[in-house]
Every structure is written in C-alpha cells, then in structure tokens.
Structure 1
Amino acid sequence: MDTAVETDRIARNIVINAPRERVWAALANAETFGQWFGADLSGQTFAAGQRTRGPITIPGCEHMAFDVVIERIEAPHLMSYRWHPYPKDASVDYSLETPTLVVFKLADADGNATVLTVEESGFDNVPPHRRLEAFRANNNGWNFQLERIARYVTAV
C-alpha cells in the first residue's frame, strides 16, 4: 500500500454549469479574474511573460498582494502563471524564493458544462520554514477559489 503524501502539488477540479467560453472569459481576463478571485486588477491584462499585480480584496487578506507572472495562455483551454504562495508577511521579500506554478485547464463536460482543473506545483522549493503553511493555505484556498469562480460564472 502506498501511503506517500503529496507535498509538492495540489490538484483540484470542478464541473461548472456554463460553457467553456464563459469560464475562459472569467479566467483569461485579468480584471474579471480579479473580480471572482478577490483581487483588484483594474486596468490590467494577462499576457505571457507579463507581471500582473494588485491588492487582495478578500476580508482578512487585504495585507497580501496578488502578484503573478503569466507563463502561458492557450485559448480556450489553458492558462498558467507563477507566484509566491501565501505571501502573508508584507515585510518579506518573496522574490528571493522560487515561485510555484499554477495551471488552469478547461475541458468540455456533458450538458454544455465545463471541467475546470487547477494544479499548483513546486511547493518542495518553498523554503522549509514556510513550506507546510503555504501548502496548507493554498490547499484549502483552491477549494474556496473554485467555488468562487463557479458562482461568478453561473451568476453572469
């Protein structure tokens, strides 16, 4: 029996009762992404190689920033970025750390629905003193965020 626990990667998926184009629009547009994710990304765009940054607007997390570098955008099925997971301390320079990779994948599901999968990997490269806390925070956070995008997309 394999009892190994995955510590480097988080993977989640959700079936959203909306067509892929609608889910893609909520994912690939920076301002719209910010609306459901809980970050002020007003006036910004997502483009490969580009940094996008804005304050988190989720109550209790306002001291943190959403700060990513877009890696790939392949409409309408894949978007990925790199970021520093759980940057809770504004006095820390997280740019000295290796970022994790977040990949969103879209696939068609029955009934004009969409399967959205998110995978975040690279936690084994987060400094040991904060690795477990960052993993736990994002492990819970992705459940929360997938519910947020599903509510956003189906309310539009």
Structure 2
Amino acid sequence: MADSIRKHIELKAPIQRVWRALTNHEEFGAWFRVKLEGPFVPGQEARGRITHPGYEHVVWRATIVAMEEPRLFSFTWHPYAVDPDKDYSGETPTLVEFRLEPRDTGTLLTITESGFDTLPDHRRVEALRMNEGGWTAQAYNIRAHVDGPADE
C-alpha cells in the first residue's frame, strides 16, 4: 500500500504569487475552502472551520512546520479527520508539503502528503483514498485561484 500522495501542477502564476496563495491564511482559506482564525506561524497550530459544502461541521487543524519563502510550505495534520465526535490526537499526523519551483511559464507546484503508514489500520485506506481525490481537487482550486482573471 502507498504511504504517500504526490501531485504536480504547472501554474501560470509567478512563484511569489503562488507563495502568497499558500501562506497568506486568507488566500489559503479562499481556495482550500476553510475559514482560518489567524495567520500561519511555524510551530503553531492553525485552525478554522471548513467551508466546503457537507463539511461545514468540521474544524480544520494543522500544525505549521516550515515556511521557507518561496520554496517550501509544510504542515502536519490528521488526514480525513471529519468526525467531530472522534479524538484524532492519539494518531501520528501526516506531513503535507507544498514545494515551489520557478518555471519559464510560471511555477511548478508539487504537493506531497506522506506518513499514511502510521495511521490506524481502520482509517488508513479511507484517508488515503479521500485525500488522493482531495489533493487533485485542491490542485485545481489553487490553479483557478492564482491563474484566474481576478488576479493581478
């Protein structure tokens, strides 16, 4: 079974624009569909309410690991933690990394989530399946956000 998910997406936007979309909590929230309570700070938890239809009852939580402008933004979280009555804190979180590389035509964004092998057996397959599809959708969301006509 796979331990990680990796997505690559070419964006027309320059690296600084993509960096801002990833690390500014309001911009991140707009394309990721979460209303965050405050800015991202390495070593601290970021939290907010998911705004994606059907998941509004879920509080999104992540611990910011790195913000190495403009190349790496990463956090840990509990993948597919959508049951508000379940305590996921005893599970080892997965690591999500957004790596940015400048390209002549814009930016190559690589999204990697690793560590699924540490999840409890009863959650591993579903979390991997849901996040595989989720990261595909989020890659398109950030593309629409940074490449869209409303941007600079």
Q: What band does the TM-score fall into relative to the shorter chain?
A: over 0.9
Q: Which runs of 5+ in 1 are unaligned?
A: none
- SS of 1:138 mapped into structure 2: helix
Q: Using the aligned pairs only, state the percent identity.
A: 48
1:63 offset after TM fit, Å?
2.0
Q: Which runs of structure 2 are paired with 1:56-71 in the superposition (5 Å)? A: 56-71=50-65
Alpha-carbon distance in 2 for matches of 1:82, 1:107: 21
Deviations 1:93-128 (A, max 9, x none): 0111100000000001122x1000000000001111
Aligned residue type for 1:100: T
Return the TM-score normalized by structure 2.
0.95
Residue 138 of structure 2 is aligned to residue 145 of structure 1: yes
- 2:12 matched residue in structure 1: 17
4+ runs deviating over 6 angstroms: none
Normalization by structure 1: what TM-score? 0.93
Equivalent residue, structure 1, for 2:27: 32
Look up the match of 1:122: 115
Alignment RMSD (CA, Å): 0.9
**Distance in 2 between the 1:96 and 1:64 partners?**
18
Aligned residue for 2:72? 78
